[in-house]
């Protein structure tokens, strides 16, 4: 599952897992530009890791946890754990102000 091989995507997955529901793209903070973040969302969507739906001017995202757990038991839990580590590393970087996209 190459979609889960990038630290930014792991961070997104961890944040969606913590939310336990839907989050708009603009509420997920990453240390990359908005266009790069959009590309990461596209990769996650095309790999079947997330589901996206438009609501007005917002694009809402949610993990496809049930589907992934059924097909790849334990994979998502591992990705979430690593994603939390990535988020913690972003927080430790003094230059990382975060990017909301």
Here the CATH number for the domain that contains residue 49 is: 1.10.10.10
Q: Is residue 101 part of a domain?
A: no
CA distance 47 to 49: 6
pTM for the model: 0.89
**Per-residue b/e over 39-68, b at no fewer than 16 CB within 10 Å?**
ebbebbbeeebbeeeeeeeebbbbbbbeeb
At 6-57, the pLDDT tens digits run 999 999 999 999 999 999 999 999 999 999 999 999 999 999 999 999 999 9
The count of domains in the chain is 1
- Please report the pLDDT score of residue 93 as a whole number: 85
At 69-90, the pLDDT tens digits run 999 999 999 999 999 999 999 9
Instruction: Enumerate residues 6+ apart whose C-beta is below 8 A from 88.
Output: none
Q: Which domain holds residue 61?
A: 2-95
């Amino acid at each position: 599952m190459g979609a889960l091989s990038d630290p930014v995507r792991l961070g997104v997955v961890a944040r969606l897992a913590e939310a336990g529901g839907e989050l708009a793209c603009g509420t997920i903070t990453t240390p990359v530009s908005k266009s790069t973040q959009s590309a990461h969302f596209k990769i996650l969507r095309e790999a079947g890791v997330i589901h996206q739906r438009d609501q007005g001017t917002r694009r809402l995202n949610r993990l496809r946890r049930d589907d992934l757990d059924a097909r790849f038991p334990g994979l998502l839990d591992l990705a979430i754990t690593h994603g939390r580590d990535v988020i913690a590393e972003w927080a430790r970087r003094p230059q990382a102000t975060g990017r909301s996209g």
